[in-house]
């Protein structure tokens, strides 16, 4: 009888341990999933910021290029007019 009670106690203890470990594992998985979601979200924000910066730099580059072309054209016109005089 004592062996049977000990065996049942051991089984109950093992079942309880399994439940605790399963719960702990589930909590760890949830925490890791949240961490992954945070990293993905931060990455997406970083990518959007980089894309915005690239667009702004391209616009500024285009403005600078057009300004340089205008200055070059003005210099050529001025030189041409000066050579005619």
- As a dihedral over the C-alpha atoms of residue 12, residue 13, residue 14, residue 19, rounded to 10 degrees, the angle is 90
Residue-wise burial string across 33-52, b where 16 or more C-beta atoms lie within 10 A, e elsewhere: eeeeeeeeeeeeeeeeeeee
pTM of the model: 0.59
Between CA 47 and CA 51 the distance in angstroms is 6
The structural domains of the chain, with segments of one domain joined by +, span 1-72
Residue-wise pLDDT tens digits, 28-38: 999 999 999 99
Residue-wise pLDDT tens digits, 66-83: 878 777 777 766 776 677
DSSP H or E segment with residue 31: helix 2-84
């Amino acid at each position: 009888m004592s062996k049977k009670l000990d065996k049942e106690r051991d089984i109950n203890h093992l079942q309880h341990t399994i439940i605790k470990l399963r719960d702990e594992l589930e909590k760890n998985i949830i925490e890791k999933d949240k961490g992954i979601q945070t990293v993905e979200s931060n990455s997406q924000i970083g990518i959007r910021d980089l894309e915005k910066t690239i667009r702004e730099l391209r616009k500024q580059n285009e403005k600078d290029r057009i300004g340089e072309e205008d200055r070059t054209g003005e210099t050529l016109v001025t030189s041409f007019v000066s050579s005619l005089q």
